[in-house]
Amino acid sequence: MLAGGLGTRLRERVPNLPKPMAPVAGRPFLEYLLDALARCGCDEVVLSVGHLWQKIEVHFGNSYNGMALRYAIEQTPLGTGGAIAFALAQLPPDTDAVLTLNGDTFLDVDFAQVFAHHRAAGLPISMVLREVEDTMRYGAVLVEGGRVQSFADKGRSGPGLINAGTYVLDPRWFRTLGLPASFSMEADVLQARCAELRPAAFVTDANFIDIGIPQDYDRAQQVLPQWLA
C-alpha cells in the first residue's frame, strides 16, 4: 500500500500527520483501508512509507486486525512506481501476484473478487476502474473487450471510467521492466506501455473516495461511516 505521499494539498487540514493518518470520523483513514483488506482475508501488508512515517509505525506497530505489517521506508520520494518496486523487494522472489492500492483512497470493493478476476485473465497486471459521472479530475480510461486500451488526458468532462489506483500485478514481471529507482506507475508503465500491456480491467461502481483534496476529505467525514454502517 502506498502511504508515503507528501499530501501537500491536505497539509493545511492535517499539518503534522502523513496523509493516510488524517482523521476521518475519529479514526485514522488508514484504519479503514486496512480493515477492508482484513475483511477480504489478507494476512500481510507492506506499507510503503516516507513523510512522517514514524507516526504510522507508532500507531499500528507490526500487526493490525490479524495482519502482519511491514514497512518499506523511502529515504527520498520514489514516485508511485518506484514506491511499488521498493515495497515488492520485501516479498519472497517467487511471489506471483500482489494487490497494490493507494493510502489516500477508499474503494469499497471485494478485493478477493479482484484477485479472482486477475487470475482468470492470466495477464501480468490488472487495473480496478471506477465508473464516475465526470472524469475531469482524474482522466478517463478507455476499455474494450475487458482490457484497457488507452488513457485520455485530465481536464475532459463527462462520464466514464477512471483509474481507482488499485492493481493486481505479478512482481516477477514488474522486475523485468528495468525502470529507474524513481518513476511513475501511471505515466511510465500504464500509459507509456499500454499498447503492449493492455491490462485486464475490473470495472466497479462501488463506493469510492479520494481524500487528497480538502473538499473530498471533508466529505469523507460523513460518507465513510454511512457506507460502513
27-86 pLDDT, tens digit per residue, is 999 999 999 999 999 999 999 999 899 999 999 999 999 999 999 999 999 999 999 999
Please tell me the total count of domains within the chain: 1
Neighbours of 168 (CB within 10 A): 26
The dihedrals phi and psi of 51, each to the nearest 5 degrees, come to -55, 120
Q: Which of 107, 104, 135 lies closest to 13, judged by CA?
A: 104
Predicted local confidence at residue 4, as pLDDT? 81
Residue 6: CATH number of its domain: 3.90.550.10
Percent of the chain at pLDDT above 90?
A: 87
Least confident of 13-17, 123-127, 146-150: 13-17
Distance CA 91, CA 198 (A): 26
Cβ–Cβ < 8 Å for 118, 166: no
State which residues form the domain around 20.
2-227
Q: What is the pLDDT of residues 183-221, one digit of tens each?
A: 999 999 999 999 999 999 999 999 999 998 899 999 999
| HSE-up (13 A, CA, CB side) for residue 120 | 10
The SS3 assignment for 112 reads helix
Q: What is the mean pLDDT of the chain?
A: 94
Predicted local confidence at residue 7, as pLDDT? 60
Give the CA radius of gyration of the chain.
17
Q: Which of 61, 5, 64 lies closest to 32, judged by CA?
A: 64
